[in-house]
Amino acid sequence: MIWHYFPIGMRFPVRDFSEASKRRCWEIALSAIFSADPCGTGLYEACEAYDPGAGMPVYTCIVCYEGIKQARAAGKRFHALDALSSRLTLHEPFVQANYLESFGPYPLIGSIDGSGAITGSDAAPFLPTGLPEPMTEGHGLSILIAADGPDGTAETALRALGAAAADRGYSVTRTAIADGGAGTVRALVSNRNGRYETVACTDETGERVVETIGILPGGIAVLEATRGARQFQTLIRKTLDLGYRNVLLAPGALDPSEYELLLGEEPDPRMSQCTFTALSADADAANASILRKLGATVQNGAETVLDLIGFDAAAARADVVILASNAADGARDSAVCAALSRLRAERKPAVLLGGSTADAERLKNEHPELRGVIALSEAPAEKALLDAFSESILPMLGESVAKNGAV
């Protein structure tokens, strides 16, 4: 589809494409659209069955402007609305014509006329047509929310906590942190404004599978190295086929017996042209040994990821930092521990969500910047996060700023 005007898409992670899900997305999108000049626009939709960054389906609400000046003003406004951006995908939350032209055609589901009236098509009964309340900017406390977790759990935490904070008027910045596996790939691609490539590989049983490669600016490929050794070997070859020679490896738990089998084989001659850097935990000596034998330079994964995503600068701009961990004991989460060490050096007040309350006093003694260590309940993930925010984090925020001497 070739856009004749100037579309802006807002990408919402969703569980499904039901009318209820679409209506909720449009309620938020229209509130943002009406915070700028909405008149004379067309409304479109797009459904992505799976997004590798979000780890789930994505529904895109598209508003198309006829004038470039109107579109630019709206785009600037959208980026300033934390109550909007905190509900969107971490990777590419807003997309424009170049991105959207790769897909389509997009159905026109409604329009907003010159008076601001919304008209929906018969094919879109889910589109709200009442006048929405224009979304406003948050000018309160500046909060950095950093989350670690596998399989998209970090993004779930960032959306839930970010939306809860933004709805209360706080200024919100979200960042994913990680130490190993797919979480590291997502954290780097999202924070470095990278992209994803999908390639077909063969797994250990000979079955064809689809794998994802993260691509960072500068032509740096980021690969998850937790699959079987043969599958990982195929993924490396596919990466070389695409022309990448600077490769970051994000390993999780490697099986030494599998990877040792690769060492006796004739390597791909293109390997000699490559630079391989493994982002591995210092404590995982077995991983480090395997990766060095495979020709990789090993760096501390958690610390390197924090450097690459600009964590220190983001923390310096914030009044308070919320760290969320999916680990049973967040205080032993290597990514969270690395972040806490950085915050201690900056004397930046922080709250750890997902820790053990039994260790709260010890942790506060070790990390004076910690204002609270909060254990999550057994409720479903999003409810547990929201309960913890409203019941435990909100009362701490004022105290944290007061102790830090900032307003």
CA torsion sign for 99, 103, 104, 110 is negative
Question: For the chain, what is the total number of helices (H) and then of strands (E)?
Answer: 15, 17
What is the four-CA torsion angle of 69, 190, 315, 407, rounded to 10 degrees? 40
DSSP assignment of 52-66 equals TTTTEEEEEEEEEES
Check residue 79 and report its DSSP letter: H
> Would you give per-residue pLDDT tens digits along the chain (407 residues)?
567 899 999 999 999 999 999 999 999 999 999 999 999 999 999 999 999 888 899 999 999 999 999 999 999 999 999 999 999 999 999 999 989 988 888 989 999 999 999 999 999 999 999 999 999 998 889 999 999 987 778 898 999 999 999 999 999 999 999 877 888 999 999 999 999 998 888 777 778 888 889 999 999 999 987 667 778 888 888 999 999 999 998 887 666 666 666 666 777 788 888 898 988 765 466 677 777 777 788 888 889 999 999 999 999 999 999 999 876 555 567 888 899 989 988 889 999 998 777 778 888 888 888 888 888 888 888 899 999 999 999 988 765 544 443 43
Please state which architecture CATH assigns to domain 142-177+309-404. 3-Layer(aba) Sandwich (3.40)
Residue 186, token pair as written in the block: 């997502």
Domain ranges (residues) in the chain: 6-120, 142-177+309-404, 181-304
Same fold, 6-120 and 142-177+309-404: no
CATH of 181-304, one of 3.10.129.10, 3.90.1510.10, 3.90.1150.10, 3.30.420.40: 3.90.1510.10
Domain 6-120 in CATH 1.10.10? The answer is no
| Model pTM score | 0.91
Beta strands of 264-395 (E only): which ranges? 275-280, 297-300, 320-325, 350-353, 370-374
